[in-house]
Each structure stands twice: as structure tokens, then as C-alpha cells.
Amino acid sequence: MVNTSVDLAGLRLDNPVIPASGTFGFGYEFAELYDINILGSISLKGTTLAPRFGNPTPRIAECTAGLINSVGLQNPGIDAVLSEELPRLAKVFRKPAIANISGFAIDEYVTCVEKADKAEQIGLIELNISCPNVHNGGMSFGTEAKSAYEVTKAVRAVTKKPLFVKLTPNVTSIVAIAAACAEAGADGISLINTLLGMRIDLKRRRPVIANVKGGFSGPAVFPVALRMVWEVYEAVKLPIMGMGGVSSAADVIEMLLAGATAVQVGAANLVDPFACKKIIESLPAEMEKLGIESLEEIIGGAHNG
Ligand code: SIN
């Protein structure tokens, strides 16, 4: 009998598989399809202080081996998330969930995290400083070490829950940004958010996406994400939630070998709503095939020797 459980900054997960924010709603929507208690945890839809309608449509462009999104952080705002969405989730999910928090100013991040900190079912805060689809916020905090440090430090002061910072790959050195977050008191790093991309509609000769550019994700980005997880693991001694194009149990194991402690599954949920279930159910057989008794023992294993 293999052991799939991992310790994520003090949170014991039955397995390391977590649906990524923005690809799994607030979780309860999927409870109609299967028992979501098989998941390691759930990273909830990205949440801001005020409700947001999101970006103009079209917001999605399909690509070979992936897709581009420009959703623009559509969400009902932190108060509605805590008072309406979270109680709905609590009815069907008995495990700690992850609050994914975005903002446009440091005090917005702080207020949101202060509120999320009081919610019992929130077991971990994921500070999103990497959304490529909004101006004056989101990714702009995550593209400079100084601003990444400042927002992480400010938020650290208002929560004792495990604090992970979600980073963008659209930078010269993701390692430098991760190191700044570690110095500011983060408990872990989530990476990677989407890669900035675009498509052009050949018939209209115009960009497919109304906002022109968006974030590219899906299987095509997996090797890029894996490389960045590898680099951050070597440089920063914090647990990592690895994500980017993960779509199989083998991908999960590869992410752990590169240095991830937990693994988020994103675009795969949009292709197949049962993707996380299939990955979790096939993990034990994949481990047995590879002679792995415990997932915890292989974290960062590809760095040894
Ligand atoms: C979005 O809502 O535009 C995507 C969120 C993200 O990439 O962080």
C-alpha cells in the first residue's frame, strides 16, 4: 500500500493534487460530479476586495496543447466569498481550502487576507501577485522583487495561516522574486501562473481576445513550469506548490521530483472536469510502477546525486 500523503507547510494532505484557482470555481460546483473530498485541497476562485465583472469577451483562445485566458479576476468579492461561497463549499467538502487573494494595492491585499484569516475552513492563503490580465495590480506586484517583498511582508503581518505567494513566469528571474517573498516571511511559493500570449483570428485579422493578450496554460507549458520549480527549489528553502500544464499522475510525480510538495491542476479541469479525480485515482498505480512507496520521500529527489 503506497503512501500519497504530504505535509504542506503544516497542512497534512491525503494527496498532493489540488485544483488550481480559476479552474474549479468554489469547488462545490464539482460535487455534483464526484466526491470532492478525494482532493488534497482546493484553491478557490481568485478573490478581490470588491466584486469584479471581469474583462470584456472573448476571453478565451484555444491553442495547440493549451489555451489563453483573459478572465480579469471575475469574482463576487471577499465578503460574498466568505459569507456565501464558503458555506456552500463547507456542506460538501470537509477539508481545509485555499483562499486565492488578488488586489490592486497593498491595503486591498491586507484587508482581504485579514478577512480570509478569520474563516475556519481556510487552511492556507495563496497570495496571487501574478495575474497577467488586469492593470495596476496582479502581475505588477510579482514582476519586481521590491514590490513582491512589500506586499508579502504587509500580508504576513495579518495572518498566521500558511502563506504561499503565487508567482508569474513572465519575469527575468523568478528565483529573485521567490527569494524576496521568502525574506518577507512567506511560508511557501506557488508557481507558475500563466505565460503571456496572444492569438490572431485569421478571418477578422484581429486579436482573438478582446483585451488582445492573455495567460497561456495547458500541457505545452509543463516543461517551463517544471524548470522553474526546479530552480526555485534549489534557491529557496520553502515548500512549493508546482503548477503549469499538469495533466497526469506521471506529471505530478515529475513535479515532486523537481521539488514541489503539492501540485495544482489547472487547464486540465477545463478540458475534463474529472481530470483531478482521474489523476488521484491513478497515482497509486503510477507510484507502484515506479517503485515509489511514499510521495513525501521523493520531493526534490531529482536534485540528489
Ligand atoms: C484571470 O482571472 O484573469 C486569471 C487569474 C490569474 O491568472 O491569476
CA 83 to the chain's CA centroid = 23
Q: Which residues line ligand 1 (CB under 6 A)?
A: 22, 46, 69-73, 128, 130-133, 193-194, 215
Q: Is residue 67 part of a domain?
A: no
Q: Which residues are catalytic?
A: 131
Protein residue with least CA distance to atom 6, ligand 1: 131
Residue 75 Cα distances to 59, 87, 270, 274, angstroms: 15, 16, 18, 23
- Provide the residue range defining the domain that includes 293: 6-55+73-195+218-303
Please tell me the total count of domains within the chain.
Answer: 1
CATH number at residue 156: 3.20.20.70
Q: Is residue 66 part of a domain?
A: no
Q: Is residue 208 part of a domain?
A: no
Q: Is residue 242 part of a domain?
A: yes
pLDDT surpasses 90 at 218: yes
* d(CA 146, ligand 1 centre) in Å: 22
Q: Under DSSP, is residue 196 helix (H, G, I), strand (E, B) or coil? A: strand
pLDDT surpasses 70 at 26: yes
Residue from 164, 143, 195 nearest 262 by CA: 164
Q: Is residue 63 part of a domain?
A: no
Q: Is residue 11 part of a domain?
A: yes
- The cell for 41 is 485541497
Closest atom of ligand 1 relative to the 193 alpha carbon? 7
Q: Is residue 259 part of a domain?
A: yes
Closest atom of ligand 1 relative to the 134 alpha carbon? 3
Which residues have CB under 8 Å from 107's CB, separation 6+? 154
Segment 172-209, tens digit of pLDDT: 999 999 999 999 999 999 999 999 999 999 999 999 99
pLDDT surpasses 90 at 252: yes
Query: How far is 162 from 186, CA to CA, in rounded Å?
Result: 8
Segment 84-137, tens digit of pLDDT: 999 999 999 999 999 999 999 999 999 999 999 999 999 999 999 999 888 877
* d(CA 73, ligand 1 centre) in Å: 5
**Which of 53, 59, 69, 221 to probe ligand 1 with, by most ligand atoms within 8 A of CB?**
69
For residue 288, what pLDDT is reported? 98
